[in-house]
Amino acid sequence: MVSVGTIKVRCDACLEVIKGKYIHFSDGSIFCYECYQSLPKCRSCHKPIIGGENEAIDGLCVLCYRRAPKCDICGKAIIGSYTRFIDKSIACDDCMKKYQKCERCGKPVVRYTKVRGKILCKYCLKTTPRCAVCNNPIIGTYWHFGEEKVCDHCYRVYERCDMCGMPSQFLFTVYEKKICYACLEHARRCSACGLPIVGRYYSYKNQEGIFCEHCEHLAPHCDSCGCPVKEQYYELSDGRKICLACQKTAITTEEELQKVIALAQKGLKKLGIEITISINYRLISKKLLDRRIAQAGVAITAGKNLGLFQRKDDKVNIYIQSHLPIQMALGTVSHELAHVWQSENLINQNQPIHLREGFCEWVSYKVLKMHGYHGQADLILSREDLYGLGFQKYLGYEKKFGVKAVLDWAKVAK
């Protein structure tokens, strides 16, 4: 049996039974022709908006409005193309045309900050690397200085540190050189003036510390170690200037000299050098020593004269310059005692000067090493003058044949 009935279709807008034409959408909604014609349409799905203009949001139905992306500038729903930025925000095409844009990311901005006439959005103001000089956000070209960045403006406008090359608004002057605060804090300091060292510096063998170019060329130097001296130093009556470090162990009295002589004699004895002749020791000023050297007619062949050996018949004098630090005094006494040994043991008293002085330097070197003054001994090792030439001959001979053989050879070397 067949049953026949009638299906009534109602309009989703006016809820009336539809008589005639109607519009059916894919989501199942149905609108009569009259409602379809009279109601505003959603810009996205094109369905009539139930409730009319009052219910439309940005020209969209409620469902499409919820689904649509919103412009982060104007807040409106976006239909069609839009632009996404580095901070993940988006902007509609209308806002892209309407507002000024951030100089860095290109995002349209309503509220912004200007940095030297250039616009920055809030995000770029917060995240953009800052110039190490002016602390402003960097827009455009910048310069690398290690891990620091400097904007092009500061690079062109400000003077640069002579140490690191980085521009700075505040530079300190050190002997006509400009230095920034960071370099001022971390720079190595001159051991004489205490100021930061900018550029070249100098150091001395067997001496601690480094010295700036200014002090090296213009400051007074210690007569003992040769280093530039600080503002505090000892100035002797003979014109010598002695730094505080050298003065600490300076030999200034006959009693102190006797202790050094005892050390030297102990070292010579270990080498097998015996001196039985009586010796008169004198501690004298540099001026008096120079005068005695001139009177004796002893030519200055190398370096500085710190001591003098004189013998007339059985009378032997050794003069040592006063205020020498202990290591220099020990080396000098050992050297002059070696001359005493030569005066008693050399077969050829006209031995060439490089062999005569070279042997005395070898004795001085060995004694200094025995007593732990390796730095002073190394100064002898690095000599390249006549003294050094002769010393190297004896040192080489010792390595091949031993100490006793050196003493035997020293008597006949020519």
Q: How far apart are CA 393 and CA 318, in angstroms?
A: 26
**Is residue 176 in some structural domain?**
no
77 and 55 assigned to the same domain: no
CB of 64 within 8 A of CB of 42?
yes
Q: What confidence score (pLDDT) does residue 205 get?
A: 81
Q: What confidence score (pLDDT) does residue 5 get?
A: 46
Q: What's the structural domain count of the chain?
A: 4
DSSP string of 60-74?
A: B-HHHHHHS-B-TTT
**Is residue 164 in some structural domain?**
no
**Is residue 322 in some structural domain?**
yes
259 and 398 assigned to the same domain: yes
Q: How far apart are CA 230 and CA 245, in angstroms?
A: 11
Q: How far apart are CA 349 and CA 328, in angstroms?
A: 27
The mean per-residue pLDDT over the stretch 372-398 comes to 92
Look at residue 199 and give its three-state secondary structure. Answer: coil
- Give strand ranges (E) for 56-133: 82-84, 90-92, 100-101, 108-109, 113-115, 118-120
Q: How far apart are CA 197 and CA 228, in angstroms?
A: 14
In Å, what is the CA distance from 227 to each residue of 16, 244, 413? Answer: 111, 11, 37
241 and 254 assigned to the same domain: no
**Is residue 343 in some structural domain?**
yes
Q: What confidence score (pLDDT) does residue 2 get?
A: 45
The mean per-residue pLDDT over the stretch 258-267 comes to 96
224 and 321 assigned to the same domain: no
291 and 382 assigned to the same domain: yes
Q: In percent, how much of the chain has pLDDT > 70? A: 97
Q: What confidence score (pLDDT) does residue 3 get?
A: 44
Q: What confidence score (pLDDT) does residue 399 get?
A: 95
**Is residue 327 in some structural domain?**
yes
Q: What confidence score (pLDDT) does residue 154 get?
A: 93
CA 386 to chain CA centroid, nearest Å? 40
CA 32 to chain CA centroid, nearest Å? 84
The mean per-residue pLDDT over the stretch 129-134 comes to 92
**Is residue 168 in some structural domain?**
no
CATH number at 399 reads: 3.40.390
239 and 387 assigned to the same domain: no
For the record, the structure tokens of 367 come out as: 């004694």
CB of 66 within 8 A of CB of 44?
no
Q: What confidence score (pLDDT) does residue 276 get?
A: 87
pLDDT digit string (tens) for 52-76?
Answer: 877 788 888 888 898 899 999 999 9
307 and 242 assigned to the same domain: no
pLDDT digit string (tens) for 205-256?
Answer: 878 889 999 999 999 999 998 899 888 888 998 889 999 889 999 999 999 9
Nearest to 260 by CA among 283, 243, 278, 293: 283
Lowest mean pLDDT among 144-148, 202-206, 225-229, 257-261: 202-206
Instruction: List the domain range (segments joined by +) for residue 211.
Output: 188-247
242 and 385 assigned to the same domain: no
Query: Is 1 or 279 the better-scoring residue by pLDDT?
Result: 279
Eight-class DSSP state of 52: G
**Of 135, 157, 179, which one is at a domain's C-terminal end?**
157
Confidence of residue 395 (pLDDT cuts 50, 70, 90): very high
CA 176 to chain CA centroid, nearest Å? 20
Q: How far apart are CA 168 and CA 154, in angstroms?
A: 8
Token pair 């109607």 in the structure block, residue: 22
329 and 407 assigned to the same domain: yes
Q: How far apart are CA 63 and CA 42, in angstroms?
A: 10
Residue 96 has pLDDT above 90, yes or no: yes
Average pLDDT in the chain: 90
CB of 347 within 8 A of CB of 412?
yes
271 and 240 assigned to the same domain: no
pLDDT digit string (tens) for 322-376?
Answer: 999 999 999 999 999 999 999 999 887 788 999 999 999 999 999 999 999 999 9
**Of 218, 247, 276, which one is at a domain's C-terminal end?**
247
Confidence of residue 301 (pLDDT cuts 50, 70, 90): low
Q: How far apart are CA 210 and CA 221, in angstroms?
A: 13
Residues 6 or more apart whose CB falls under 8 angstroms from that of 408 comprise: none
In Å, what is the CA distance from 372 to each residue of 35, 150, 367? Answer: 113, 53, 9
233 and 277 assigned to the same domain: no
Q: In percent, how much of the chain has pLDDT > 90? A: 59
**Is residue 9 in some structural domain?**
no
Q: How far apart are CA 113 and CA 41, in angstroms?
A: 41
**Of 67, 98, 120, which one is at a domain's C-terminal end?**
67
Q: What confidence score (pLDDT) does residue 300 get?
A: 54
Q: What confidence score (pLDDT) does residue 299 get?
A: 54
270 and 378 assigned to the same domain: yes
CB of 364 within 8 A of CB of 352?
no
**Is residue 131 in some structural domain?**
yes
Residue 308 has pLDDT above 70, yes or no: yes
Token pair 């982060």 in the structure block, residue: 72
pLDDT digit string (tens) for 269-300?
Answer: 999 999 989 999 999 999 999 888 888 876 55
